[in-house]
């Protein structure tokens, strides 16, 4: 196999795919959906209807409600028939405070303002009661009762300050990137191998090219196409953040800065490379075994499911990373990439263990790829059935 042969296949695959409108539609679809979601959320947030003030009357058997506070909130002492007038819609709300509001409920008779807006009545009762109690106390006492002490938590790992959520950002992005690679490129990788065998083109290609050059060229081309798609997605996300940064505050979710941990990021890159190679090689192997794309489709779904299964156990991974089930997922090849990437991002995976898993995934991926080349050679003429083990043991070309 010569490098020029791999280059020929790579150029052909790139040119063929880049000329297809479907590729650009698929590449732009995800950024477009993200942009639409952000715009809808922003529009919905700015389009909230203005809350109408509530005018109310009240009776107070507890003696705790302040007339001045009630007046400031739009209320007044109840006149006769307040409950009937509230039921008839002539009065917005009628509040009945019992003798012991702490143990007995406050009855509210009010006009229906909608499923969500009806919660404003409970909020009104809470404010009226709290402000009235505050008005009966000294300002210093109110400050002590209503305030909470500020807490400054400082955590350490091996004597060094822990990076916390700030250190998870960059390694965690590689876990998201692995899902995108499998989702965006997996189906293309599978179909790229199957379609030429299904259309009976592959045997003509192998007259002038060895199987290894053909497989490697396809993988390289699709990897470059994946970089194009991921790059477009990254640009789209960057544009979205730049346009929404005025009202999106990372501090609100505990992110004050993005820290750079070279060891953790290096392990994440190794795990990502190993996971991407193994999943890609596995899909190529499926494509060389199955006779048609229809037969191969369920296996693509299975590979995607194995990739995202650890995400369904994200709570267990974060809370109990040393549990038996998480350890099994960490070292089982098909679930190891995502599980190890998450554990590495949280700092729960030792760098040596992470590097060992990454090297193991690279080795497994290389073995699967070597097997895929062999099955590709053996399965060229099998258009009516999938390959079986005895086909690989056969010495016939």
Rounded to the nearest 10 degrees, how much is the dihedral formed by the CA atoms of 279, 284, 288, 289? 10
Percent pLDDT > 70 in the chain is 76
How many whole angstroms separate alpha carbon 188 and alpha carbon 17?
10
pLDDT of amino acid 141:
65
Mean pLDDT along residues 59-67: 90
pLDDT digits (tens, 9 = 90+) for 333-363: 999 999 999 999 888 888 999 999 999 999 9
What pLDDT does residue 10 have? Answer: 78
Report pLDDT digits (tens) over 271-295: 999 998 898 888 888 877 777 767 7
Structural domain boundaries in the chain:
3-29+162-393, 56-146
Question: What's the pLDDT at 357?
Answer: 95
pLDDT: is 93 or 185 the higher one?
A: 93
The residue among 146 and 186 whose pLDDT is bigger is: 186
Distances (CA, A) of 10 to 6, 15, 17, 187, 259: 6, 9, 11, 18, 37
Which of 186-190, 206-210, 342-346 is predicted least confidently? Answer: 206-210
Would the pLDDT of 200 be above 60?
no
Distance between terminal CA atoms of the chain? 18
Is the pLDDT at 211 greater than 80? The verdict is: no
For the structural domain made of 56-146, what CATH number should be given?
A: 3.40.190
Contact 317, 325 (CB under 8 A): no
Segment (H or E) for 341: helix 336-346
Tell me the per-residue pLDDT of 105-141, one tens digit each, with 9 for 90 and over: 999 999 888 878 888 899 999 999 988 888 877 766 6
pLDDT mean over 217-230: 77
The answer to which of 21-25, 94-98, 338-342 has the lowest mean pLDDT is 21-25
* pLDDT score at 225: 78
**CA dist 355 → 178, 223, 269, 271, 308 (Å):** 17, 23, 10, 7, 21
CB neighbour class for 369 (10 Å; exposed up to 12, middle 13-18, buried from 19): buried
What is the percent of the chain where pLDDT is above 90?
A: 19
Report the pLDDT value the prediction gives residue 271, as an integer from 0 to 100: 93
Mean pLDDT over 256-262 rounds to: 70
Mean predicted confidence (pLDDT) in 2-12: 73
pTM over 0.75: no
Per-residue pLDDT, averaged over 218-232, amounts to 78
Give dist(CA 395, CA 387) in Å, integer. 14
Q: State the average pLDDT over residues 363-390.
A: 69
Compare 172 and 125 and report the one with higher pLDDT: 125
Average pLDDT over residues 306-321: 88
């Amino acid at each position: 196999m010569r490098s020029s042969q791999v280059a020929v296949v790579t150029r052909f695959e790139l040119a063929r795919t880049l000329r297809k409108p479907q590729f650009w539609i698929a590449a732009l679809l995800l950024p477009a959906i993200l942009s639409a979601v952000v715009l809808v959320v922003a529009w919905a947030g700015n389009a909230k209807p203005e809350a109408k003030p509530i005018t109310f009357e009240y009776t107070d058997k507890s003696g705790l409600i302040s007339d001045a506070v009630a007046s400031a909130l739009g209320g007044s002492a109840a006149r006769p028939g307040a409950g009937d007038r509230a039921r008839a819609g002539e009065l917005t709300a009628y509040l009945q405070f019992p003798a012991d509001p702490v143990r007995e409920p406050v009855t509210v008779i009010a006009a229906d303002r909608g499923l969500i807006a009806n919660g404003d009545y409970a909020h009104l009762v809470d404010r009226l009661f709290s402000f009235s109690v505050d008005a009966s106390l000294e300002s210093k006492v109110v400050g002590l009762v209503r305030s909470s002490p500020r807490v400054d938590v400082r955590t350490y790992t091996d004597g060094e300050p822990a990076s916390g959520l700030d250190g998870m950002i960059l390694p965690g992005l590689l876990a998201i990137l692995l899902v995108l690679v499998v989702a965006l490129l997996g189906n293309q990788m599978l179909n790229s191998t199957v379609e030429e065998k299904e259309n009976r083109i592959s045997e003509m290609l192998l007259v002038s090219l060895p199987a290894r050059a053909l497989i490697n060229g396809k993988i390289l081309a699709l990897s470059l196409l994946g970089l194009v798609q991921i790059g477009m997605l990254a640009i789209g996300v960057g544009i979205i953040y730049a346009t929404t940064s005025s009202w999106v505050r990372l501090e609100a979710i505990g992110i004050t800065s993005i820290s750079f941990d070279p060891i953790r990021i290096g392990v994440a890159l190794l795990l990502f490379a190993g996971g991407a190679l193994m999943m890609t090689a596995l899909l190529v192997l499926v494509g060389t075994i199955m006779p048609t794309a229809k037969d191969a489709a369920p296996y693509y779904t299975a590979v995607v499911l194995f990739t995202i299964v650890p995400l369904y156990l994200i709570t267990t991974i974060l809370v109990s990373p040393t549990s038996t089930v998480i350890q099994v997922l960490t070292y089982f090849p098909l679930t190891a990439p995502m599980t190890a990437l998450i554990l590495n991002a949280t700092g729960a995976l030792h760098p040596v263990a992470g590097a060992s898993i990454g090297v193991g995934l690279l080795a497994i991926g290389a073995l699967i790829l070597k097997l895929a080349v062999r099955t590709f050679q053996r399965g060229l003429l099998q258009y009516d059935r999938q390959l079986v083990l005895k086909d690989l043991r056969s010495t016939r070309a």
